[in-house]
């Protein structure tokens, strides 16, 4: 190896490394190499782990397993986004001709996926008001093709806390599966798998990553279903990049301390808003939803928030607000918005880790 062109390409990989880093290294590689054809064949016979990063990578594997461990589930898999994780989970249970029953008050993007995209795949979705068990059960009775019950542990944006145990009872009686999106609650607050859910999805973009610099999803749960979901992720190209997985793992390390601070701020914000607006806050989590009075100028309120940013997402370390009517639930028809209560006066606030008094002072200025 005498020529500079060759040295530039191969020198760094010549020696077996014995470095032991304190944190997991970033495996930013599209593929993995083999020392012989026999070793390559061994991979396909089950004696190897990594071939190509779309199929598996140490960083994405570590992310899936870390979230699974926090949720008390046996296995997990990372995906390119929360929507990808939800889709993979659904496809691990349902196929063309099957039905799904879902809560009507889920995140707007999820509603669109369930209502429109699954229909293209031949999967029919029935929406119900999950505050009434009888509505869910009637669908299960009328449509034996239902294979899955889907909801969110804390719904978006009105923060209804799902009664997962009731869904699990229905699951056992009717022989279906239960899948819960645990993005808002996080494993810090609620563990749906421990309550009997089969699959738990996360938009890791939110609290798991925690710093608004990554787009990622994670699905955990029953080992057989996760193995099937992993195949869907690989075959449909919904895999997560190693760097995104590495960033998310870094964020997860501070999940508990962030959620503790953000939840405390959310409780203080909810108390502050009482009497000034209609407030939805279940006493847990870091999101507060409120509706300004009909006489209030919503646009002026948003423009008066100073350092509180207006964003179409949530869960970063900064306090932010979003406008469900014009962003997360924009794709819903007027009738669908009215049905779940998303009006032009509704605001969803994501509490950050700033000093509580600073947040309240900025909100007070906006109200004034």
Number of other CB atoms surrounding residue 358 within 10 Å = 14
DSSP symbols for 303-345: HT-TTSEE-S---SSS-EEE-TTTTTTTTS-HHHHHHHT--TT
pLDDT of amino acid 14: 57
Q: In angstroms, what CA-CA distances link 18 with 13, 50, 297?
A: 12, 20, 63
pLDDT of amino acid 156: 95
Residue 12 lies in a domain: no
- 208 and 160 in one domain? yes
Find tokens 């421990």 and name the residue. Answer: 194
Among 203, 222, 252, which residue terminates a domain? 252
Q: What are the start-end ranges of the H helices in 72-202?
A: 82-91, 108-112, 118-120, 133-142, 164-174, 186-189
- 245 and 278 in one domain? no
The strand ranges marked E within 198-326 are: 199-203, 217-221, 278-280, 287-291, 309-310, 320-322
Closest CA to 110 of 138, 140, 85, 131: 85
Among 252, 285, 313, which residue terminates a domain? 252
- 106 and 151 in one domain? yes
Total residue count of the chain as it appears in this document: 368
Residue 233 lies in a domain: yes
Tens digits of pLDDT across the chain (368 residues): 789 878 777 777 655 567 788 999 999 999 999 999 999 999 999 998 999 999 999 999 999 999 999 999 999 999 999 999 999 999 999 999 999 999 999 999 999 999 999 999 999 999 999 999 999 999 999 999 999 999 999 999 999 999 999 999 999 999 999 999 999 999 999 999 999 999 999 999 999 999 999 999 999 999 999 999 999 999 999 999 999 999 999 999 999 999 999 999 999 999 999 999 999 999 999 999 999 999 999 999 999 999 999 999 999 999 999 999 988 888 788 888 888 899 999 999 999 999 999 999 999 999 99
Among 189, 218, 252, which residue terminates a domain? 252
Q: Which residues contact 228 (CB under 8 A, 6 or more apart)?
A: 91, 92
Number of other CB atoms surrounding residue 53 within 10 Å = 21
Q: What is the pTM of this model?
A: 0.95
- 160 and 120 in one domain? yes
pLDDT of amino acid 17: 64
pLDDT of amino acid 82: 98
Q: Which residues pair with 8 in a beta bridge?
A: none
- 205 and 158 in one domain? yes
Q: What is the CATH number of the domain that holds 167?
A: 3.40.640.10
Owning domain of residue 43: 37-252
Q: Which residues pair with 321 in a beta bridge?
A: 310, 349
* Sign of the torsion formed by the C-alpha atoms of 198, 70, 84 and 28: negative
How far apart are alpha carbons 359 and 368 in whole angstroms?
A: 14
Strand, helix or coil at 91?
helix
Contact 126, 146 (CB under 8 A): yes
Q: Which residues contact 129 (CB under 8 A, 6 or more apart)?
A: 103, 104, 105, 135
**Long-range contacts of residues 307-310, Cβ cutoff 8 Å, at least 24 apart:** 307/362, 308/359, 308/362, 308/363, 308/366
pLDDT of amino acid 6: 81
Q: In angstroms, what CA-CA distances link 151 with 34, 107, 146, 174, 236?
A: 44, 10, 14, 17, 24
**Domain tally, the chain:** 2
pLDDT of amino acid 279: 98
pLDDT of amino acid 226: 98
How far apart are alpha carbons 205 and 212 in whole angstroms?
A: 7
Residue 27 lies in a domain: no
Q: Which residues pair with 309 in a beta bridge?
A: 320
Closest CA to 164 of 176, 153, 149, 174: 153
pLDDT of amino acid 86: 98
Q: pLDDT (tens digit, 9 = 90+) per residue, 329-351?
A: 887 888 888 888 999 999 999 99
First vs last Cα of the chain: how many Å apart? 73
- 266 and 226 in one domain? no
- 358 and 342 in one domain? yes
How far apart are alpha carbons 206 and 285 in whole angstroms?
A: 13
């Amino acid at each position: 190896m005498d020529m500079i062109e060759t040295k530039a390409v191969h020198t760094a990989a010549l020696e077996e490394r014995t470095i032991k880093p304190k944190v997991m290294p970033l495996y930013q590689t599209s593929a993995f190499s083999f020392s012989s054809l026999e070793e390559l064949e061994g991979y396909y016979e089950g004696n190897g782990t990594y071939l190509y990063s779309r199929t598996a990578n140490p960083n994405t594997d570590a992310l899936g397993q870390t979230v699974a461990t926090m949720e008390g589930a046996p296995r997990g898999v990372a995906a390119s986004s929360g929507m990808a994780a939800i889709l993979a989970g659904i496809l691990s249970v349902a196929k063309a001709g099957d039905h799904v029953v879902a809560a009507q008050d889920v995140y707007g993007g999820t509603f669109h996926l369930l209502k429109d995209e699954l229909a293209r795949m031949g999967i029919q979705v029935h929406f119900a008001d999950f505050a009434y068990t009888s509505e869910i059960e009637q669908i299960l009775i009328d449509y034996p093709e239902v294979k899955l019950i889907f909801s969110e542990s804390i719904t978006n944006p009105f923060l209804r806390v799902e009664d997962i145990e009731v869904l699990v009872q229905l699951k056992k009686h009717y022989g279906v599966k239960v899948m819960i999106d645990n993005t808002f609650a996080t494993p810090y607050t609620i563990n749906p798998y421990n309550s009997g859910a089969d699959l738990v999805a996360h938009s890791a973009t939110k609290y798991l990553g925690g710093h608004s610099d990554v787009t990622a999803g994670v699905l955990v749960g029953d080992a057989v279903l996760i193995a099937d979901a992993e195949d869907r992720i690989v075959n449909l190209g919904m895999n997560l990049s190693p760097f995104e997985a590495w960033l998310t793992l870094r964020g997860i390390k501070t999940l508990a301390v962030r959620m503790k601070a953000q939840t405390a701020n959310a409780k203080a914000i909810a108390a502050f808003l009482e009497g000034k607006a209609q407030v939805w806050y279940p006493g847990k989590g870091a999101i507060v939803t409120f509706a300004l009075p009909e006489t209030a100028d919503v646009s002026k309120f948003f423009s008066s928030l100073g350092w509180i940013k207006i964003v179409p997402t949530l869960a970063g370390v900064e306090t932010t607000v979003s406008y469900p009517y014009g962003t997360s639930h924009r794709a819903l028809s007027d009738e669908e918005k009215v049905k779940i209560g998303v009006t032009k006066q509704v605001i969803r606030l994501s509490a950050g880790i700033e000093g509580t008094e600073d947040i309240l002072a900025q909100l007070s200025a906006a109200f004034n």
